[in-house]
Amino acid sequence: MTATQSTIEKFRRPDNGRRPTPPPGGFAARSLVSVDDLSRDDIEYVLALTEYYASYLKMGARPAQRLAGKTQINLFFESSTRTNMSFELAGKKLGADVINVPVAASSVNKDESLLDTAQTLAAMAAHVMILRHRQPGAQATLRDRLPCPIINAGDGAREHPTQALLDAATIRSAFYETEGLTVAICGDIAHSRVAASDAKLLHRLGMNVRFVGPESLMPAEGDMSFAPRFHSLEEGLAGADVVMALRMQFERMDADEAERADRATYFEKFGLTHETIEFAEPEALVMHPGPMNRNVEICGDLADDPTRSLVLTQVYYGVPTRMACLDAIMNRQGD
Ligand code: NCD
């Protein structure tokens, strides 16, 4: 049985199958640029909606077409498999007209600015824009300059809020009680937007988040100080219920950093394997946002072990989580 199947079988159907109701006063976030845009009520609503839509996916049933007649534009300036495809599927499952902008063949190559490109696309009566861009803060700059809401699908090393939500949904699907769980985020935290969004969101949900890795890959001093830092797997994994590996993000490192981050040395000291996972709790589960570099941050055998790995469950949750985000944002009261 794959990790995805085993987790799907554990799904609890949301309260008697009814659509969760928005928080009192309505869903607050107009755009989703950072996990900080979400109130605790918003987060719980998105996670409840995620389970609701997951139950449709599990049954192969079509949910109410809550985005019918709406236009969703996916604008990805960086490579993506999971995020782009799951946003596309999510929009289509809810009845939206979804356009994937072919960035490589667009006027971006004629030196059009990001603002002009985004405003041009939004002018085609877009109802939502999903943006991935290497520039930290790109979405924050655009959010008030576009007529439609914007969802951040990754901005440089800064934030990736929907990944954090799908990771929270994955953890909730695997553990009965998630408050008080210990989550060790391992590896290249400094360059990871996933680490930044996940750490903040999981901490707000009452989990104990910690960072494990070499000093050179830790976030800046004083950043996310709620998370203790460890420089060895033995210390950092002790007591961990969830161990999250991250890709070494060479494309975001400068030349000096990349030279120091030697793959083989890294695996020797920080690679997650069936042996090193023994430092964690006996039933600890392993996560990775993907794309994985096998035998750099995680050994292939461990990533593929359905009794230990939630990697494909994370991919699975990508679709219902993004359905939930699109629905919550595009069907806000008063909009
Ligand atoms: C990540 C990303 O692009 O931020 N992947 C993802 O969205 N699932 C992580 C990475 O690039 O390593």
Binning pLDDT at 50, 70 and 90, where does residue 254 land?
confident
Query: 155 CA to middle of ligand 1, Å?
Result: 10
Q: Which ligand 1 atom is nearest residue 249's CA? A: 12
Q: Which ligand 1 atom is nearest residue 314's CA? A: 8
Answer whether 249 contacts ligand 1 (Cβ < 6 A): yes
Query: 322 CA to middle of ligand 1, Å?
Result: 15
Binning pLDDT at 50, 70 and 90, where does residue 287 land?
very high
Return the pLDDT at 1. Answer: 41
Q: What is the mean pLDDT of the chain?
A: 92
**What letters, b where the CB count within 10 A reaches 16 and e where it falls short, cover 225-254?**
eebeebeebeebbeebbbbbbbbbbeebbe
Region 136-153: mean pLDDT is 97
Q: What is the CA radius of gyration of the chain?
A: 19
Question: Is pTM beyond 0.85 here?
Answer: yes
Region 67-85: mean pLDDT is 96
Return the pLDDT at 321. Answer: 98
pLDDT digits (tens, 9 = 90+) for 186-243: 999 999 999 999 999 999 999 999 999 999 999 999 999 999 999 999 999 999 999 9
Element (H, E) at 19: none
Query: 295 CA to middle of ligand 1, Å?
Result: 18
Return the pLDDT at 138. Answer: 96
Peptide bond into 291 cis (omega under 30): yes
Q: Are 87 and 295 in contact (CB under 8 A)?
A: no
Binning pLDDT at 50, 70 and 90, where does residue 16 land?
low
Choosing from 130, 160, 249 the residue with most ligand 1 atoms within 8 A of its CB, the one to mutate for a pocket test is 160
Region 257-270: mean pLDDT is 80
Choosing from 158, 162, 163, 189 the residue with most ligand 1 atoms within 8 A of its CB, the one to mutate for a pocket test is 163
pLDDT over 90 percentage in the chain: 82
Residues 6+ apart with CB under 8 A from 291: 81, 247
Answer whether 154 contacts ligand 1 (Cβ < 6 A): yes
Q: Are 328 and 45 in contact (CB under 8 A)?
A: yes
Structure tokens at 13: 């159907």
Cα angle vertex 30, ends 28, 35, to 5°? Answer: 75
Region 160-187: mean pLDDT is 97
Q: Which ligand 1 atom is nearest residue 318's CA? A: 8
Query: 78 CA to middle of ligand 1, Å?
Result: 10
Answer whether 82 contacts ligand 1 (Cβ < 6 A): yes
- Sign of the C-alpha dihedral, residues 72, 108, 86, 241? negative
Q: Where are the beta strands (DSSP E) in 77-228?
A: 97-100, 128-133, 150-155, 182-186, 208-212
Region 244-260: mean pLDDT is 81
DSSP-derived secondary structure letter, 151? E
**Whether pLDDT at 77 is above 90:** yes
**Whether pLDDT at 119 is above 80:** yes
Return the pLDDT at 12. Answer: 45
Tell which wins on pLDDT, 79 or 243.
243
Binning pLDDT at 50, 70 and 90, where does residue 18 land?
confident
Q: Which residue is closest in CA terms to ligand 1's atom 7?
A: 83
